[in-house]
Amino acid sequence: MDFRATPFDHPNAVKLNDEVQLEYAERYQDAGDVTPLDPAMFLPPRGLYLIAYDDRGRPVATGGWRAQDVNPEGYSDGDAELKRMYVVPEARGLGLARRILAALEDDAHAAGRTRMVLETGVMQPEAIGLYTSAGYLPCTKFGHYREYENSRCFGKPLSRP
């Protein structure tokens, strides 16, 4: 597997983002995740967007983080927010999400962020299982979906092993 830092508006990123949006829409019977995102949010050193490519050069997984600081949406100073974690169905079960998550945590920590936070929903039990098994704990709700009943927020302090 080849992990590459990629702009959020790169064609492969757009393609995979469209796929995850379809999955959100199907699971939640709505329009998908409408959190406002700008490609500049994922530019180092205040963010990173990764795409994993398989041995045939196909993009098969994504994930990114963006810096957050205290604001009216409930973030705290030093937060790194995880966004757009996704693995195409045919590549699931290979540990790609866990590897991307670890790489994003390492990068956010190296950039001076102190906590990784994420929002997911009750219709994504696989995501909740991944995050809790990686040491994430429920936290005060934040972000665009903080007032939604089906939303779940998690956080994890970032520190070097």
pLDDT tens for each residue of 28-82: 988 778 888 999 999 999 999 999 999 999 999 999 999 999 999 999 999 999 9
CA 76 to CA 73: how far, in whole Å? Answer: 9
CB under 8 Å to 110, separation ≥6 — which residues? none
* pLDDT score at 129: 97
* pLDDT score at 68: 96
Number of domains into which the chain is organized: 1
Nearest CA-CA partner of 23 in 64, 82, 66, 84: 84
Query: pLDDT, tens digit, for every residue of 115-140?
Result: 999 999 999 999 999 999 999 999 99
CA-to-CA dists, residue 42 to 5, 55, 68, 116, 143, angstroms: 10, 25, 11, 14, 16
pTM of the model: 0.94
CATH code for position 143: 3.40.630.30
- Domain hosting 130: range is 2-157
Bridging pattern class, strands 115-121 and 79-87: parallel
pLDDT at 144 over 90: no
